[in-house]
Amino acid sequence: MCLGVPGRVVEIFEQDGIRMGKVDFGGIVKEACLAYVPETEVNDYVIIHAGFAISRLNEEEAQETLAILREMGEDVPMGEFTSR
Amino acid sequence: MKYVAEFRQPELIHKLAGEIRRTVTKPWTIMEICGGQTHAFMRFGLESLLPPEIELVHGPGCPVCVTPLELIDKAIAIASRPEVIFCSFGDMLRVPGSHADLFRVKAAGGDVRVVYSPLECLKIARQHPNREVVFFAIGFETTAPGNAMLVWQARQQGIRNFSMLVSHVRVPPAITAILSSPGNRVQGFLAAGHVCTVMGYWEYEPLAERFRVPIVVTGFEPVDLLQGLLRTVRQLEAGRHEVENAYERSVTREGNRPAQELIARVFEPCDRTWRGIGLIPDSGWRLRPEFAAFDAENRFPVGDIQTQESSVCISGLVLQGRKKPHECPAFGTSCTPAHPLGATMVSSEGACAAYYRYRRSL
């Protein structure tokens, strides 16, 4: 129900006065409502949930998160495997 | 897929798991409020990477699971009417009501349709001017923007043969209810990333302060989940209780303002009964009085409904994080996804269904 999937906006158009877009999810293109992300442009990434873009994905933040994690210390071996 | 694959890299997953193991010194009980996150933890086998000190309990964040039985029965009664085209998100169709489910209504000839976007209902209503189109508007704050837009547009476009059966729920009052209950064991929360995408996380700051619990806004990929967990554990170990955002690429403190504005124009807070839990004050949204004409409960007299829950099912305790699914006598025997006794076994986000799918060896 709260599954949101990131996709790339490939086209923006209007339908019945509502801002809509075509969004590419790694090859599958679906229509979604863009009314809640008014600043979005073609080629931006958005998070789509039940046919609506709920946010414009902040690509800088995403890269920064990954950069911080890559610099983190190495993995430590797990003690004995615990099954819970 | 971009912005998915990067957050599933094994190297980063193991780094984070290692950091969690290094950080933990004592046992902690942490709740992921969102059923989507429960499912992701299981699906990616992340629990096996965690130290035994960390116990994850699963929250009530599955709208399919907590939709009250009375409302399912109302949906079934409305969907059975010959003039109605009943539209719903797909995962509601198998939820057992007292005596049937929406699939059974469809099998008996009822016009029950699955929609991906709520806006599809407008097209269906225009195509069938002589029928009554009813949408089952359920969900947390994540589905509210779409459902609000649907009813707003129905009014704008003058579509009269449309109404909504509304059962919206909100996360913060549920967290309050869990933390206020005498048997509470939860010491920290992972907050649901897509609920916070819409609502922001300013609402959670007073909760963290009042109950002295860390709340970390968390995304849905393995790296997101472990990062949320690591930040929660760091706070617990340091005795801090703050709201942190571990899903920066989608969530801001203020959330999605245009979405919040339309939600507030269409819905107003109300008390709501949660299946398996009971009444939680101010935990729901209902249509504002100016949208009463679009309220299916006003349009269709389905008053006197006698509900009847399964006597064996412990889904209420599971939804509150007090029991684990496999502690139910019916789990995996008389209750399976093919023959569910309770909603937590039906929904793909329900804790019981997740345990059945991924942890049957327990």
Round the average pLDDT of chain A to a whole number and report it: 87
Maximum C-alpha span of chain A: 61
| Ranges of chain B with pLDDT below 50 | 362
- Worst-scoring range by mean pLDDT, A25-34, A57-66, B270-279, B291-300? B270-279
* CB pair distance less than 8 Å for A16 and B122: yes
Local confidence band at A75 (pLDDT 50, 70, 90 cut-offs): low
What burial letters (b/e) apply to B41-57, b meaning 16+ CB within 10 Å? bbebebbebbbeebbbb
Instruction: Give the separation between CA B152 and CA A52, rounded to whole angstroms.
Output: 15
Instruction: Give the separation between CA A50 and CA B87, rounded to whole angstroms.
Output: 14
B150, with CB counted inside 10 A (0-12, 13-18, 19+), is buried
CA dihedral angle for residue B341, residue B347, residue B352, residue B356, rounded to 10 degrees:
100
Instruction: Give the separation between CA A6 and CA B5, rounded to whole angstroms.
Output: 11
* CB pair distance less than 8 Å for B36 and A84: no
What the block records as the tokens of A11 is: 């086209």
Q: CA-nearest residue of chain B to A17?
A: B153
pLDDT for the residue numbered B98: 86
pLDDT for the residue numbered A74: 64
* B127-167 pLDDT per residue, tens: 999 999 999 999 999 999 999 999 999 999 999 999 999 99
Interface of A with B in 42-71 (CB under 8 A): 45, 47, 49-52, 54-55, 57-59, 61-62, 64-66, 69-70
* B35-67 pLDDT per residue, tens: 899 999 999 999 999 999 999 998 888 888 889
Identity at B5, one-letter amino acid code: A
Helix (H, G, I), strand (E, B) or coil at B236: helix
Instruction: Give the separation between CA B204 and CA B56, rounded to whole angstroms.
Output: 20
Local confidence band at A77 (pLDDT 50, 70, 90 cut-offs): low
Identity at B359, one-letter amino acid code: R
List the strands of the sheet with B267-274, edge to edge. Answer: B111-114, B84-88, B132-139, B162-169, B278-287, B267-274
Region of A27 please: left (phi>0), alpha (psi -120 to 50) or beta: left
Round the average pLDDT of chain B to a whole number and report it: 93
Give the minimum alpha-carbon distance from A11 to chain B in angstroms, rounded to a whole number.
Answer: 18
